[in-house]
Structure 1
Amino acid sequence: MTPKERAEKSAAAMWANDEASKWFGMELAQVDEGHAILTLTVAEHHCNGHGICHGGVTHALADSAFAFACNSRNVSTVGQHTMMSYLAPGKKGDRLTATASEVNVSGRSGIYDVRVTNQDNTLIAEFRGMSRAVGGQNFQE
């Protein structure tokens, strides 16, 4: 099995049970070893009292991309610590894209960066996640 095939199979197993990402309206666009892209179109119910995309929605999108990237080797992995910097508002109708990239994996710990952009490639937010492998697999190999 190639690394990409493993990542895709791991993502399919996770997506099957990921009710939260589906509930938000996210779509899994791409996955490879150490990499994932998820998208979300900002709907009215994603907007806060200022009429812009709620920061928690943006964070959830980045966190889901992080999850698929750090589980791409079929090792059950969870987020240990995350941080997010908001740089521009997402607006109703925007198509947000969260692109997660692996920075480093050492032992059971990993570091991942996620960039959230809109359809015009405007940088909406930057996210950094630290992961921790907890043992087990997402699918049986």
Structure 2
Amino acid sequence: MTPQDIAEKSAACMWADDPASQELGMKIETIEPGHAVMSMVVRKDMVNGHGICHGGFSFTLADSAFAFACNSYNLRVVGQHCQVTYLTPGKLGERLTATATEVSRTGRSGIYDVRVTGEDGRDVLIFRGHSRQVSGTHFDQNDE
């Protein structure tokens, strides 16, 4: 299998067991080794008392893109810690896009930057996630 094949199969395995991302209407736009792009439309049930996208939902989109990027090597990886900075609000009906990019991957640890943008290209939030590899794989590569 090529690294791209591994990334795609890892994403398919994760997606099949990810009702949180699915139920929020997220979509995987792009998956590559160490990289993922996901999108989500801000629904009425995602809007807070200020009439803007609740920060927890835009954070969840960033966190999901982070998860798919760092799990793209057929190794099970979890988030260890992250930092998020909210820059502008998401709007009702707007498609938000999260682009996760690997910054560093050494041993069992990784660092990934995620940029969530609005439809007009403005930055909604910036997220930096630290990952940690745990035991296991998403699929048996020997069966391929």
For the aligned pair, the TM-score class normalised by the smaller chain equals over 0.9
SS at match of 1:6: helix
Deviation at 1:135, TM superposition (A): 1.5
Q: CA deviation at 1:23?
A: 1.3
What is the CA–CA distance in structure 1 between the aligned matches of 2:7 and 2:52, rounded to whole Å? Answer: 33
Q: What pairs up with 1:23-42 in 2 under 5 angstroms?
A: 23-42=23-42
Residue 52 of structure 1 aligns to a residue whose secondary structure is coil
How far apart in 1 are the matches of 2:21 and 2:41? Answer: 13
- Counting only pairs closer than 5 Å after superposition, residues 51-90 of structure 1 correspond to structure 2 as 51-90=51-90
Runs of 4+ in structure 1 over 2 Å off = none
Tell me the matched-pair count.
Answer: 141
Cα distance in 2 between the residues matched to 1:108 and 1:27: 27
Partner of 1:123: 123
Runs (5+) with no aligned partner, structure 2: none
Deviations 1:29-86 (A, max 9, x none): 1100000010001111110010100000000000000000000000000000011000
1:18: how far off? 0.2
The alignment partner of 2:51 has SS state of: coil
Which AA in structure 1 matches 2:83? M
Distance 1:122 1:93 in 2: 16
Q: Which amino acid aligns with 1:37?
A: V
Identify unmatched segments of 5+ residues in structure 1: none
Secondary structure, counterpart of 2:64 in structure 1: helix
Task: Specify the SS of the correspondent of 2:45.
Answer: helix
TM-score w.r.t. the length of structure 2 is 0.97
Deviation at 1:140, TM superposition (A): 1.1
Q: Percent identity?
A: 57
**What is the one-letter code of the residue matched to 2:62?**
A
Q: CA RMSD in A?
A: 0.5
Write the distance in 1 (CA, Å) between the matches of 2:72 and 2:82.
18
TM-score by length of 1: 0.99
Match in the other structure for 1:133: 133
1:90 & 1:105 partners in 2: Cα distance? Answer: 30
